[in-house]
Structure 1
Amino acid sequence: MKPCLHPQEEERLRELRRYGILDTEREKVFDELVEIASDICEAPVSVVNFIDAGRQWFKAEVGLGVRSTPIETSLCGHVILQGDFVEIPDTLQDERMADNPLCTSEPGFRFYAGAVLKGANGLPLGTLCVLDHKPRRLTDRQRRILTVLSKHVMSELNLRLALEQERVLRREVDHRVKNSLASIGAMLSMKARRTSNETLKMELDDAGTRIRSLSSLHAELHELESGDCVDLRSLFERVQADLRSLIPDDAKLSIYVEAIKATPQLANAMLLIVNEFVSNSVKHGFQDGEGSITVVVEGDAQSWTIVCQDDGTATALDAEQAMSKSGLGTRVIHSLANSLNADALWTASGTGMELRVTPKH
C-alpha cells in the first residue's frame, strides 16, 4: 500500500526544506547515531530518513546501502502519519505493509520501530528507525534510547538552522553598517568640497577618508564566513582610492601588500595605522603639496611588518617627538601598535619620515 500524503503536506515539505538537509553528504554525527541505534536495538538496519516529495531520502544508514528509495515502498511514509513512536512487531500482519515488496521479499523487513522526527512547527519530517528481518519487539529501554537518539537528530538540525539564521542576520547588519559608513563618508566629502575654510576642508576630508576606510573593512568582512580571515591585499586595494583622495593632487601614494591572511582585528589596526601615517604626512611633511608616500605590508599573519615612508621635510627631532607620542596621530598609532603587541619605530633625517611597525618577539 502506497503511503497517503500528510494532511498538511505542502506545509510539511516547506518545513523539511527549511532545514536544508536534503541531498547533503554523509556526516559522522548522524552516522554515529544510527550505529548506536542499531547496536542498542540489536537490529541489522538503522536509518535517519526524511520523507520528501516522491521519495524517502536517507541522511544516515546502517545495513541498507542506498541513499533513497521510492515513496511507494516507504515504511516510514506510513509511520509519520501515525504518532511520535511506532513499533510494528510483524510487518506482514500490518495491512499497510503486508504487500510491500520490501517486506514480502527475502530477506524482507519483518520488524519496524521508529521515532518520528518533527520540525519546529510540530509537523513530521521523517524518522530514526530500526528494522529487522524477523518479527520481534523492542524492550522498554531500547524504545527510550531510540526516542532520545531521535531528539539528538532534531537538536543537531535545529542548532544548524539557528546558526544559519544568525549568520544571515549578521550579514544583513554588516551590510547596513557598511552602507551607512559609506553614506557618512560621502556626506563628509561633499561638505569638504563646499567649504572655503582650508583647515575645515582638510579635517572633513580626513574624517571622510577614515569613515570610508572603515566601510571598506566592513565590505571585506561582509564577504567572509564566520572564522575566516581578511585578505590584506584585497582590503588595501579597496581603500587606496580613498587614501589617495586625502593627499594633494601633486603628491603620490604607493601601497604594496603581500597576500597575508589576517584576523579582522589585525586588519582593522593595520588599516588605521596606515590612515594615520598618511594623514600625518599630508599635514606635517608636505610643505608645498608635493611629495610621495610609500606603504609596504609584508610577511605573514604571525610575523608581519608595516613600513610607511614619505619624502617630506621630517627631521630627527620630528622622529623623536613622534616616538614620544607628542601628537594625537602618533599617540593613536602607538596605541594601535600596543593593541597588536607590536613596536612602532619612527626615524627621520631631514628627507622624510619612516614608520616601522613589527610584532614584539
Structure 2
Amino acid sequence: MSENYPVPYNETERLLKLSDLDIDYGSLSESFKDLTHLAAKVAGTEISLINLIDAYTQWTVARHGLDLHQMTREESVCQYTITQADQFEVPDLSADDRFNKNFYVGEPLSLRYYFGVPLKDNDGLNIGALCVLDTKLKMLSPEKIELLKIIAVEIMNRIKTYQTMESLQNKLKDAGESNKKVAHDIRGPIAGIIGLSEIITEQGKNANLDQVIEFIKLIHNGSKSLLDLADEILSDHNEVKAPGINEFDLSSFRAKLLELYGPQAAYKKINLKITINPDKKNIIFSKNKLLQINGNLISNAVKFTPAGGTITVELDLLVKQEANILQILVADSGVGISEDEIVEILTGGMGTKQGTGGEKGYGFGLSLVKHLIDKMHGEMFITSEKGKGTIFRIELPQSNL
C-alpha cells in the first residue's frame, strides 16, 4: 500500500470531535445492529460495517456479515472515505494498488467491492464511515446510494442520542448525590432533637408527668427513626458498588483496555501487561476521556515497539479528600524518542513518524492526548532512552464519586 495516506484537511478538529463524543468503541454493537443489517439489504451486499476512525485505529463499532472489530488505520479503506464530502467507491479492491496487499483482499475473505459514506456531524466533520462490501463486483444504483446516505444520517442521530443519554445519566447521578448530601445534612438537627427529647424525658420522670413523658417518647422514637433512615441512606452510599454507565473502577478500566487494545498488541506479537493497585480496585471514578487518553498512548506504544517487545500499563489511584488522582503509566520497550521530540509532544505538537512495523502513522495521537490532559487539568511526564523505550506518566484529577 502506498505511504501517501490520506488525512482530512480538518483532522485536528475531527479528532477533537470524536474525543468529545467519548465513545466506548466496544459498547455500540447492539444499538446499531438493525442499521448494519438494513444497509447490507439495501445495497445487496454480504457485509456492512460502521467504522469510527481515531488517530491510529479504525474501530468497527457495529457489523453485519463479518466479525471484524478493528484494524490499523493504514490498512483501512474508510480512511479515504472520511476525506470525502459525499462518498467513496472502489469497484475492485484487488485491482487497486492502495488496497490489494491488505489482508481482507486475500483469502479467506477475498473482498472485492467497497462503497462508503462518511458519518458527518453538524459541523461537517467526518468521524467515520458506513460502508458496504462484497466478494463479488457490484454497481449501486443512485437510489440505493441515497438510501445508504439516509442510513448514515440515522447512525449519527443515534450517536448523538447515545451521548445525550450518557449526559442525562450524569445529571441523574448528580441529583442522587445531592439527595445523599441532604440526608447527611439532616443528621445533625435530628440528633439534636433526640438529645433534647432525652433531657425532657428525664426531667419528666422526675416530675411524674406521665402524659408529657409519653408525648416526648413519641417525639424521641420518631426522630430516632429518621436518624436510622439517614444512616441507612449514607451506608448505602458508602457500600462498594459496581461502576455505572459513565464510570470505571480500576478493575473495569483494566478489563476495557485489554478488550480494546489487547488485539492490537497480539496482532503485532507484543506482550501487553496491565496491572492495577488491588487496594484501590473498587474506588469508582468518571470514565470521561480516559479511553481516548490511555488508548492513544497504548496505540502509540504498539506502533513504536517491535514484535516480541513488551508494553506495561500501571493503573493506580492516589486518594485525597478534595479529589482523587488517577495515575497512569504506559511504558514500552520500543525505539524511544529524543529530548527534542519530548519537548514537541509536551508543547502540543508531534510530527508523523514511521512505526517499527512500517506503520507511517498520522502524527495527531499524542497531540490529542496532551490536549485532553490539559483540558482535564492533569499532567503528563515523559522519559525515554533511544533504543530502550519510552515511559509516559499521567496524573488526572478525578471528582470523588
The normalised TM-score by structure 1 is 0.50
Alpha-carbon separation, structure 2, partners of 1:51 and 1:34:
17
Q: Which letter maps to 1:99?
A: R
Q: Which of the pair has more CA radius of gyration?
A: 1
What is the match of residue 87 of structure 1? 88
Q: Which residue of 2 aligns with 1:99?
A: 98
How far residue 11 of structure 1 moved from its aligned partner, in angstroms, is 4.8
User: What is the aligned-residue identity percentage?
Assistant: 21
Displacement after TM superposition at 1:186 (Å)? 1.7
Q: Is the 8 A contact 1:188 1:205 kept in 2?
A: no
Secondary structure (helix, strand or coil) at the match of 1:141 reads: helix
CA distance in 1, matches of 2:220, 2:186: 11
What is the distance in 2 between the residues matched to 1:80 and 1:117?
A: 8
Q: Which moved more, 1:170-179 or 1:198-207?
A: 198-207
Question: 1-side partners of 2:72 and 2:90: how far apart?
Answer: 23
> What CA distance in whole angstroms lies between the structure 2 residues aligned with 1:20 and 1:30?
14
| Cα distance change on mapping 1:148 and 1:185 into 2, 3 Å | same
**Separation of aligned partners in 2, 1:61 and 1:93:** 22
| Aligned residue number for residue 128 of structure 1 | 130
Find the aligned partners of 1:180 and 1:60 in 2 and give their Cα distance. Answer: 43
Structure 2 Cα separation of the partners of residues 189 and 127 of structure 1: 61
**Kept in 2: contact 1:34–1:46 (CA 8 A):** yes
Tell me the CA shift for residue 134 of structure 1: 5.6
Q: 1:122 to 1:187 in 2, by over 3 A?
A: farther
Contact 1:57-1:68 within 8 A present in 2 as well = yes
Select the residue among 16, 20, 24 that pairs with 1:21: 24
Q: Is the 8 A contact 1:45 1:132 kept in 2?
A: yes
Secondary structure in 2 matching 1:176: helix
Cα gap change, 1:120 to 1:22, in 2 (>3 Å): farther
Note closer, same or farther for the CA distance 1:12–1:122 as it changes in structure 2 (3 Å cut). Answer: same
1:207 aligns with 2:208: no
Task: Give the whole-Å Cα distance in 2 for the aligned partners of 1:9 and 1:89.
Answer: 23
- Larger deviation, residues 172-181 vs 109-118: 109-118
- Taking the aligned partners of 1:157 and 1:216, their CA distance within structure 2 comes to 38
Distance 1:167 1:108, change over 3 A: same
Q: Equivalent residue of 2:87, what SS?
A: strand
Conserved in 1, the CA contact under 8 Å of 2:81 and 2:88? no
TM-aligned CA deviation for residue 109 of structure 1: 5.0
Letter in 2 for 1:158: K
Q: Matched residues in 2 for 1:129 and 1:23: separation? A: 18
Give the corresponding residue for 1:181.
Answer: 183
State the distance in 2 between where 1:212 and 1:14 align: 48
Higher normalized contact order (CA 8 Å, seq sep 6+, divided by chain length): 2
Residue aligning to 1:157: 159
Aligned equivalents of 1:180, 1:220: Cα separation in 2? 14
**Is the 1:71–1:77 Cα contact (8 Å) retained in structure 2?**
yes
Q: Where do 1:64-83 residues align within 5 Å?
A: 64-83=66-85
The 5-angstrom pairing of residues 186-335 of structure 1 reads 186-190=188-192, 192-193=194-195, 196-198=199-201, 203=219, 206-207=222-223, 209-210=225-226, 213=229, 216-217=232-233, 220=236
Contact 1:182 1:212 (C-alpha < 8 Å) held by counterparts? no
Aligned length in residues = 222
Q: Is the 8 A contact 1:182 1:211 kept in 2?
A: no
For 2:91, the aligned partner's letter is D
Name the CA distance, whole Å, in 1 between partners of 2:225 and 2:120.
52
> What residue number does 1:320 align with?
none
Residues 129 and 175 (structure 1), Cα distance of their counterparts in 2 relative to 1, 3 Å cut? same
Separation of aligned partners in 1, 2:69 and 2:91: 25
Task: Say if 2:62 is the partner of 1:56.
Answer: no
Task: Report the Cα distance in structure 2 between the residues aligned to 1:65 and 1:154, rounded to whole angstroms.
Answer: 22
User: Residues 179 and 215 of structure 1 are in contact (CA less than 8 Å); yes or no, is this contact kept in structure 2?
Assistant: no
**Map of 1:287 onto structure 2:** none
Partner Cα distance (1:14, 1:60) in 2: 22
In structure 2, do the counterparts of structure 1 residues 125 and 150 end up closer, same or farther at CA, with 3 Å as the change threshold? same
The structural deviation recorded for 1:201 is 7.2
- Write the deviation string for residues 111-161 of structure 1: whole angstroms up to 9, x where unpaired: 432222234665322111112456543212211221222233233332222
What stretches of structure 2 of length at least 5 have no aligned partner? 202-211, 245-401
AA at the equivalent of 1:37: A
Distance in 1, matches of 2:84 and 2:235, equals: 50
Distance in 1 between residues matched to 2:166 and 2:139, nearest whole Å:
40
Distance 1:170 1:133, change over 3 A: same
Counterpart residue number, 1:259: none
1:4 is the counterpart of 2:6: yes
* Cα distance in 2 for residues equivalent to 1:183 and 1:65: 53
Deviations 1:246-296 (A, max 9, x none): xxxxxxxxxxxxxxxxxxxxxxxxxxxxxxxxxxxxxxxxxxxxxxxxxxx
Give the equivalent residue in structure 2 for 1:314: none
Q: Deviations over 1:151-207 (max 9, x none)?
A: 332333322222222122111111111111221122231354367544797637733
Structure 1: which 5+ runs fail to align?
227-361
In structure 2, the residue corresponding to 1:53 is in which secondary structure?
coil
Question: Aligned to 1:69, what secondary structure does the other structure show?
Answer: strand
Partner of 2:43: 41
Which residue, out of 135, 143, 146, partners 1:144?
Answer: 146
